[in-house]
């Protein structure tokens, strides 16, 4: 089913209904429809056409939603960029995606590398406001690519997953139905819209169900209680770090919030079973944990009705096939660990301009996730780790190789390796182990250089100096043998 016809259940059929609240401003679905039509006209006026890439580098705001829906209508390939990315990450993504322009705000435009066309979000919005509100003919079909979303690769440089309109339609339709979204729901949207969790799940469940959404610029734990009490959401999506923060609220507040909350979904990183239990005790709400990836959108979910089993990600979603395989690609028996392979209308079309990486990740029509898990005899899947050394901090992914390469470029560094260390709120944080020439290495200057070039969540929390890194006979660093780090 075309993605836009799923949105039309709200954009057209619920046009007078209140749809969205952002920074005290209210919008109906009809407003959202008109705004995106006007933006389509403005973008066409700037020469954009089906298949062109357009990046956005913005905090959550209504214009991101306008841009997304306009992208669907115009057949654009939208490139969401994490607002925390800095010089190195931005250069790589923008050189690879070659967008016509990057839409950003005046506060953030300074981070965009030279040579890239920058479109000011407010100027573009002003230009759109004077356009006609009618919808132009829509050019997209389900196979039309809609987004290029960059996800960290084992090579250190991130790759763009090419997600089609059909991928988003399948994912949104399934989640809306499986999680019982309906127009009486009130969804508190605090996740960033530049990642799949906030965008593919949040925005699409909202538009397909016609519920109400309050969007915030970002999640701020100090304001969470105020937001929940004031907005009284029935639905909340979060990463584990957010649920851990919510456990800090007083019991009475938690009970009041929990009494109205119909559905709390956690994903993007493992939710400790202890947090699941504590949240149920304090909020009276049983978190529904699910598992997805940028390349595949959502794959597996605990059920809405039935047991939401702590520590597991549940059962494959209806449009997804999952098999758990050994190293040779043969399915393993229940109870035996293996790599999760997935197949379905949710899986992306491949990596942008990377036939090598695409060929390596797909086998016989199955996408190899790199995640290791085990299936219980009753079908529930438990994730146990990853085949790569990916670190997930607060739900943001970090590939150590990218940080290691940058550290190795710094004066006085002879060897470097980066590992994830346990953190009570963010799950993991990166720590660097280095072998340095003490006369040359300057830790403060190195940290400052890293900060200017990488997202803040990739900044090593410490540089632990060693005489030598533990290595195998073949020279590979044995991360397991590194001494523990304590903050």
Summarize as ranges the residues that interact with ligand MCA (CB under 6 A): 59, 83-84, 191-192, 195-198, 218-219, 221, 239, 241-242, 245, 267-268, 292-294, 394-396, 425-426, 456-457
Select 392 or 477, whichever has its Cβ closest to ligand MCA: 392
Partner from ligand AMP, ligand MCA, none contacting 221, C-beta within 5 to 8 A by type:
ligand MCA
Which of these segments, 185-193, 245-253, 292-300, 317-325, binds ligand AMP (CB under 6 A)? 292-300
Nearest to 390 by CA among 427, 336, 341: 427
**Contact flags string 113-152 toward ligand AMP, x per CB under 6 A:** --------------------------------------x-
Q: Quick one: 14 or 290, whose CB is closer to ligand MCA?
A: 290
Q: Which does 457 bind (CB under 5 to 8 A by kind): ligand MCA, ligand AMP, none?
A: ligand MCA
Binds 151: which of ligand MCA, ligand AMP, none (CB < 5-8 Å by kind): ligand AMP
**Contacts with ligand AMP, 181-220, as mask; x by CB under 6 A:** ---------------x------------------------
| H-run or E-run covering 283 | helix 273-283
Of the candidate spans 12-20, 103-111, 265-273, 463-471, the one that interacts with ligand AMP by CB under 6 A turns out to be: 265-273
476 binds, options ligand AMP, ligand MCA, none, Cβ within 5 to 8 A by partner type: none
293 binds ligand AMP per the rule CB under 6 A: yes
By residue count, the chain amounts to 487
Q: Counting contacts by CB under 6 A, is residue 158 touching ligand AMP? A: no
Minimum CB distance to ligand MCA, residue 219 (Å): 4
d(CA 391, CA 298) in angstroms, rounded, equals 20
Q: Least distance to ligand AMP from the beta carbon of 264, Å?
A: 13
Distance between CA atoms of residues 241 and 85, nearest Å: 20
| Residue ranges in 352-371 that form contacts with ligand AMP under rule CB under 6 A | 369, 371
What residues contact residue 359 under an 8 Å CB cut-off, 6+ apart?
A: none
20, 246, 269, 454: which one contacts ligand AMP (CB under 6 A)?
A: 269
Cβ–Cβ < 8 Å for 218, 190: yes
- E-only strand ranges, 260-352: 263-266, 288-293, 297-301, 315-316, 320-325, 338-344
Cβ atoms of 369 and 341 within 8 Å: the answer is yes
| 37 lies in the site for ligand AMP, by CB under 6 A | no
Site membership for ligand AMP, residue 169 (CB under 6 A): no
Q: Least distance (Å) from ligand AMP to the CB of residue 388?
A: 9
Give the nearer residue to ligand AMP in terms of CB position, either 27 or 243: 243
216 CB-near residues (< 8 Å, 6+ apart): 22, 60, 188, 189, 190, 223, 227
Tell me, residue by residue from 383 to 422, as one string, x for binding to ligand AMP by CB under 6 A and - for no binding: x--x-----x----x-------------------------
φ and ψ at residue 443, rounded to 5 degrees: -65, -40
Q: Which of ligand MCA, ligand AMP, none sits in contact with 456, Cβ below 5 to 8 A by type?
A: ligand MCA
Number of H helices, E strands in the chain: 15, 25
294 interacts with ligand AMP by CB under 6 A: yes
> Hey, what are 397's tokens?
């992914």
Q: Which residues of 332-350 are buried (b: 16+ CB within 10 A; e: fewer)?
A: eeeeeebbbbbbbbbbbeb
160 vs 92: CA distance, rounded Å? 11
**What DSSP character marks residue 39?**
H
Q: Rounded to the nearest 5°, which phi and psi values hold at 24? A: 85, 0
Shortest spacing between CB 449 and ligand AMP, in angstroms = 26
By a kind-dependent CB cut-off of 5 to 8 A, residue 124 interacts, out of ligand MCA, ligand AMP, none, with none
- Residue 125 partner contact from ligand MCA, ligand AMP, none using kind-dependent CB cut-offs of 5 to 8 Å: none
Stretch that binds ligand AMP, among 65-73, 123-131, 136-144, 290-298 (CB under 6 A): 290-298
Cα–Cα distance list, 210 to 8, 23, 29, 67, 484 (Å): 10, 20, 8, 19, 50
Q: What is the DSSP string of 326-370?
A: -TTSPBPPTTS-EEEEEEETTS-S-BTT-HHHHHHHEETTEEEEE
Contact between 442 and 407 under an 8 Å Cβ cutoff? The reply is no
Beta strands in 97-182 (DSSP E): 102-104, 118-120, 145-151, 159-164
Residue with smaller CB distance to ligand AMP, 63 or 178 = 178
The two three-digit tokens of residue 201, written as one number: 């799940």
Q: Where are the alpha helices (DSSP H) in 27-111?
A: 29-45, 62-74, 87-97
CA gap 132, 212 in Å, rounded: 26
Residue 242 interacts with, from ligand MCA, ligand AMP, none (CB under 5-8 Å by kind): ligand MCA
Q: Does 292 bind ligand AMP (CB under 6 A)?
A: yes
CA dist., res. 357 & res. 351, Å (int) = 7
- Binding stretches for ligand AMP (CB under 6 A): 151, 196, 267-270, 289, 291-294, 313, 369, 371, 383, 386, 392, 397
């Amino acid at each position: 089913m075309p993605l836009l016809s799923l949105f039309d259940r709200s954009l057209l059929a619920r046009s007078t209904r209140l749809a969205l609240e952002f920074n005290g401003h209210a919008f109906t679905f009809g407003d959202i429809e008109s705004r995106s039509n006007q933006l389509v006209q403005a973008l066409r006026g700037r020469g954009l056409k089906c298949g062109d890439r357009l990046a956005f580098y913005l905090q959550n705001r209504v214009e991101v939603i306008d841009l997304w829906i306009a992208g669907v209508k115009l057949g654009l390939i939208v490139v969401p960029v994490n607002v925390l990315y800095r010089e190195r990450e931005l250069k790589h993504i923008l050189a690879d995606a070659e967008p016509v322009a990057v839409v950003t705000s005046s506060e953030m435009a300074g981070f965009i590398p030279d040579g890239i066309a920058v479109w000011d979000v407010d100027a573009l919005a002003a230009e759109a406001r004077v356009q006609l509100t009618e919808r132009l003919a829509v050019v997209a079909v389900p196979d039309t690519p809609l987004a290029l979303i960059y996800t960290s690769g084992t090579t250190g440089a991130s790759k763009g997953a090419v997600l089609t309109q059909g991928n988003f339609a399948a994912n949104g339709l399934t989640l809306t139905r499986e999680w019982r979204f309906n127009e009486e729901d009130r969804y508190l949207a605090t996740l960033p819209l530049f990642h799949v969790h906030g965008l593919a799940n949040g925005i699409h469940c909202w538009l397909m169900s016609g519920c109400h959404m309050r969007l915030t610029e970002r999640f701020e734990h100090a304001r969470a209680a105020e937001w929940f009490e004031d907005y009284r959401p029935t639905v909340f999506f979060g990463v584990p770090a957010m649920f851990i923060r919510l456990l800090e609220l007083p019991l009475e507040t938690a009970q009041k919030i929990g009494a109205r909350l119909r559905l709390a979904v956690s994903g993007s990183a493992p939710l400790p079973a202890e947090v699941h239990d504590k949240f149920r005790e304090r909020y009276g709400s049983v978190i529904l944990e699910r598992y997805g990836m940028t390349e595949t959108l959502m794959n597996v979910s605990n059920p809405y009705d039935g047991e939401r089993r702590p520590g597991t990600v549940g059962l494959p979603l209806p449009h997804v096939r999952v098999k758990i395989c050994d190293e040779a690609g043969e399915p393993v028996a229940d109870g035996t660990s293996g790599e999760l392979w997935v197949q379905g209308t949710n899986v992306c079309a491949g990596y942008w301009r990377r036939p090598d990486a695409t060929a390596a990740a797909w086998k016989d029509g199955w996408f190899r996730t790199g995640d290791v898990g085990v299936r219980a005899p009753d079908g529930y899947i438990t994730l146990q780790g990853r085949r790569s050394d990916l670190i997930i901090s607060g739900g943001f992914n970090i590939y150590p190789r990218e940080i290691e390469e940058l550290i190795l470029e710094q004066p006085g560094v002879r060897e470097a390796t980066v590992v994830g260390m346990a953190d009570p709120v963010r799950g993991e944080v990166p720590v660097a182990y280095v072998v340095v020439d003490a006369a040359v290495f300057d830790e403060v200057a190195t940290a400052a250089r890293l900060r200017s070039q990488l997202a803040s969540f990739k900044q090593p929390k410490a540089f632990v100096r060693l005489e030598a890194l533990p290595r195998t006979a073949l020279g590979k660093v044995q991360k397991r043998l590194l001494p523990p780090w304590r903050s």
